[in-house]
Amino acid sequence: MTPLIEAKGLVRIYALRHGPFSRPSFVRAVEDISLSVFPGETLGIVGESGSGKSTLGRMLLGIDPTQGGEVRFEGQPMPRLGTPEWRALRAKMQLVYQDPLAALDRRQTIATQIGEPLDIHRIGPRASRAGRVEELMAAVGLRPDQAGSYPHELSGGQRQRTVIARALAARPKLLVCDEPVSALDVSIQAQVVNMLSDLQEDNGIAMIFISHDLKVVRNLADRVAVMYLGRIVEEASSDVIFQSPRHPYTKALVSSMPIPGKKLEGRVILQGEPPNPAARPSGCAFHPRCPVARDICRTSTPELRQVEKGRTAACHVVADNAAIAA
C-alpha cells in the first residue's frame, strides 16, 4: 500500500532577531524528520511545547515552507504555497485549529462558514450545498437552528465542532488536528475527541493528531511519534509505545500518565531545564535531562533507526541494548 502522505528529511529553521544590531540566532524548529501516514490511519504526534510538532503539522500541509527535504501527497510533490495547485489540494487536506474562535470569521454565520469550502472548490451544484451543510452540522452534533448563529454566540465546544465541520466539508482524505481540544473544557474534550474518531472511521480519513496530551493520543492514534526539540525520538504503534516505551524521554512521558485506579508508581521525574529550541544541546538534545546518558550522547546525535520490529528510536543506549538482545 502506498502512503497517503510521506515526508522525507524535513528541515525548518527560523532566524530570530533580538535587536537591530545583534546577529540573528537560528532556531532549528524541525530537523530531519521523515514519516508517512497511510489512508485511514491516525498518527499521533506528541511532545512538549517547543518540540516543533505544530511546525511539522504546518509543513506537512505545505503552509510552512520546507528548508530541506520534501513532502509528497498521493505520490506527488507538495505544490508551493499560494499556487492554484496548492489551493486545489486543500480540498483533500485540512487543518483543525487549536483556537476555534480565532479560526472563525466573527461576521459570518456558521452555516456560511461551514459551506465555504464547497463554494471555494465548487463542489456540487450550488443548490445542493445547503443540504450538505445541514448534513455536516448534524454529523458534528450541531442543532439545525444554530445555522444562523455567529461564532461568539456559541460555546467553545460548538465552535470547534463548526471548525471540524468546515474542515470535513470538502471530504478531505487527510485531517491535521493541531491540539484541537486543548482549549476546551475537560468535560467537552472527550465528546469532541469521540466525535472526531467516529467521523474518521465513517469517512475513512487519515488523521495526524498533534497533542501534548498523551491520554487523548492513546485513545485515538494507531501509531505515535514522540518529538523532542525538532526530532522524532521514538515511533511505534500506539499499544507498543504506551505498554513498553524504550526511549528514556518516552519513558518519562508515559510514566507520568495517570491510569485510573492505579497509583502513580515508578514515575520518572525529568531533571534539568525544560527544552529551549534556541539553545539546543550538542549531541543528543535530550542528554542534559536523560537519566541514562553516556559520554557519546553529549557528542554524537543518535540516528532514528529500527530497534525492533515496528519500532524506531533515536537513542544510543536503546540501540546498544537492541544490538545485545539480537
User: Which residues sit at the interface with another protein, rule CB under 8 A?
Assistant: 19-21, 61, 63, 82, 87-91, 94-95, 97, 102-108, 116-117, 120-121, 163, 166, 170
Q: Are strands 174-178 and 231-237 parallel, antiparallel or unpaired?
A: unpaired
Q: Which residues contact 124 (CB under 8 A, 6 or more apart)?
A: 118, 132
Nearer to another protein, 79 or 141 (CB): 79
Nearer to another protein, 55 or 94 (CB): 94
φ/ψ (deg, to 5) at 225: -115, 130
- The nearest distance, CB 109 to another protein, in angstroms, is 12
Nearer to another protein, 119 or 201 (CB): 119
- The nearest distance, CB 208 to another protein, in angstroms, is 14
Q: What's at 268, amino acid-wise?
A: V
Q: Compute the distance between CA of residue 60 and CA of residue 62 in angstroms, rounded to an integer.
A: 5
Contact yes or no for 323/306 (Cβ under 8 A): no
Alpha helices in the chain (DSSP H): 53-60, 84-89, 100-103, 110-120, 126-139, 156-168, 186-203, 214-220, 238-243, 248-255, 295-299, 316-325
Nearer to another protein, 157 or 302 (CB): 157
- The nearest distance, CB 266 to another protein, in angstroms, is 41
- The nearest distance, CB 121 to another protein, in angstroms, is 6
DSSP 97-110: -S-HHHHS-TTS-H
Helix (H, G, I), strand (E, B) or coil at 4: coil
Nearer to another protein, 76 or 299 (CB): 76
- The nearest distance, CB 113 to another protein, in angstroms, is 9
Nearer to another protein, 100 or 245 (CB): 100
Contact yes or no for 275/228 (Cβ under 8 A): yes
φ/ψ (deg, to 5) at 72: -120, 135
Nearer to another protein, 199 or 314 (CB): 199
- The nearest distance, CB 107 to another protein, in angstroms, is 5
Which of these, 86, 41, 81, 84, lies nearest to 64 by C-alpha position? 81
Nearer to another protein, 21 or 265 (CB): 21
- Helix 156-168 to helix 126-139 angle (10° resolution) is 130
- The nearest distance, CB 37 to another protein, in angstroms, is 18
Helix (H, G, I), strand (E, B) or coil at 260: coil
- The nearest distance, CB 314 to another protein, in angstroms, is 31
- The nearest distance, CB 154 to another protein, in angstroms, is 15
Nearer to another protein, 170 or 229 (CB): 170
DSSP 173-222: SEEEEESTTTTS-HHHHHHHHHHHHHHHHHHT-EEEEEES-HHHHHHH-S
Output helix, strand, coil percentages for the chain, rounded to the nearest 5. Answer: 35, 20, 40
